Structure 1
Amino acid sequence: MTTVALVNTASIQERRDAGGMYHHRTNFDKYHPGYFGKVGMRHCHLKRNQSFCPTANLDKLWTLVSEQTRVNAAKDKTGAAPIIDVVLSGYYKVLGKGKLPEQPVTVKAKFFSRRAEEKIKGVGGAWVLVA
Structure 2
Amino acid sequence: MSHSQGHINKRWKHPGGLGDASGMHHHRINFNKYHPRYSGKGGMRHYHLKRNQSLCPAVNLDKLWTLVSGQAQVNAAKNKTGAIPIIDVVQSGHYKVLGKEQLPKQPVIMKAKFFSRRAEEKIKGVRKSCVL
Q: TM-score, normalised by structure 2?
A: 0.67
Distance 1:80 1:42, change over 3 A: farther
Q: Distance in 2 between matches of 1:92 and 1:22?
A: 53
Q: Return 5+ residue gaps in structure 1 as ranges.
A: 1-15, 29-33
Residues 72-120 of structure 1, C-alpha deviation per residue, up to 9 Å, x if partnerless?
A: 1111255421000000000001010111011111100000011111111
1:21 aligns with 2:24: yes
1:95 aligns with 2:98: yes
Tell me how many residue pairs correspond in the alignment: 109
Query: Which of residues 114, 127, 131 in structure 2 aligns to 1:111?
Result: 114
Q: Structure 1 residue 71: deviation in Å?
A: 0.8
- After superposition, where does 1:1-131 map in structure 2 within 5 Å? 19-23=22-26, 36=39, 42=44, 44-45=46-47, 46-77=49-80, 79-129=82-132
SS in structure 1 of the partner of residue 46 of structure 2: coil
Aligned-pair identity in percent equals 70
Q: Distance in 2 between matches of 1:35 and 1:79?
A: 69
Please give the root-mean-square deviation of Cα atoms over the aligned residues, in Å: 3.0
Counterpart of 2:46 in structure 1: which amino acid? C
Q: Return 5+ residue gaps in structure 2 as ranges.
A: 1-16, 32-36
Q: Distance in 2 between matches of 1:128 and 1:112?
A: 9
Distance 1:51 1:25, change over 3 A: same
Q: Structure 1 residue 47: deviation in Å?
A: 2.5
Distance 1:119 1:35, change over 3 A: same
SS in structure 1 of the partner of residue 52 of structure 2: helix
Q: TM-score, normalised by structure 1?
A: 0.67
Q: Distance in 1 between matches of 2:119 and 2:44?
A: 38
